Amino acid sequence: DAGVIQSPRHEVTEMGQEVTLRCKPISGHDYLFWYRQTMMRGLELLIYFNNNVPIDDSGMPEDRFSAKMPNASFSTLKIQPSEPRDSAVYFCASSSGQGYSPLHFGNGTRLTVT
């Protein structure tokens, strides 16, 4: 089991640029989550999918953020245009959705917007 795979591990970009973060969930997991972690706000849920369908995107901070899940093994989180306040660690996590199943986190993408 390879676990949840995120790429890139680090991303440094300039304000105004488009940023795309990628995630491959654990095979067989029906739920995929995108979280953002900062010192000030902790771990915030941005959006989550069930069977590739977005269920709750109420945590997406604004229209600059978008997420897609075109198939069961791939998801992207896009920020366009990026701003310095978007600097954070972005985690992707997946779960099986069976009963009260826990989340399995990827290693995260550390985003720095200058």
Partner 1 sequence: QKEVEQNSGPLSVPEGAIASLNCTYSDRGSQSFFWYRQYSGKSPELIMFIYSNGDKEDGRFTAQLNKASQYVSLLIRDSQPSDSATYLCAVVFSGGYNKLIFGAGTRLAVHP
What DSSP letter does each residue of 44-65 carry, written as one string?
Answer: EEEEEEETTEEEE-TT--STTE
According to the binding rule CB under 8 A, does residue 70 interact with partner 1? no
According to the binding rule CB under 8 A, does residue 33 interact with partner 1? yes
Q: Which of 43, 85, 112, 114 binds partner 1 (CB under 8 A)?
A: 43
Q: Please tell me what DSSP assigns to residue 3.
A: -
Q: Please tell me what DSSP assigns to residue 51.
A: T
> Between residues 80 and 98, which has the closer beta carbon with respect to partner 1?
98
The angle at the Cα of 106, spanning 104 to 110, to the nearest 5 degrees, equals 145
According to the binding rule CB under 8 A, does residue 100 interact with partner 1? yes
Q: Which of 60, 82, 88, 108 binds partner 1 (CB under 8 A)?
A: 108
Asked if the peptide bond before residue 8 counts as cis, ω within 30 degrees of 0, the response is yes
Which residues are at the interface with partner 1 (CB under 8 A)? 31, 33, 35, 42-43, 45, 48, 50, 55-56, 91, 95, 97, 100-108
